[in-house]
Structure 1
């Protein structure tokens, strides 16, 4: 069985949900938000505007 490409490393909320997902292939972190039937996904930028990368493919943000 193939490993999951995205791993949720942080989650908060039940109705209004905020999650941080990590792409296990690239290490890029994403912010995912869901409120009812609406939602969105965006890469997390650092201070320079570059995508935040996890160290060791998803092990950086716990």
Structure 2
């Protein structure tokens, strides 16, 4: 099983992706433009990490 799973993608040159850690359920936002990119924890309105429940 892969540790991270891509669950959303948008764009071609200016790319946004959401990745989920399959062990913790924490969601990450990845942004790439050209040859630069960055990854950060996706936060909810209260500043807490977005967590996807584990698949049963």
The two structures have a TM-score, normalised by structure 2, of: 0.91
Please tell me whether residue 20 in structure 1 is matched to residue 5 in structure 2.
no
What is the CA RMSD across the aligned residues, in angstroms?
Answer: 0.9
Counterpart of 2:30?
32
- TM-aligned CA deviation for residue 47 of structure 1: 1.4
Counterpart of 2:42?
44
Structure 1 residue runs of 5 or longer lacking an equivalent are 58-62
Write 1 or 2 for the structure with the bigger share of strand: 2
Counterpart of 1:8?
6
**CA separation in 2, counterparts of 1:10 and 1:54?**
13
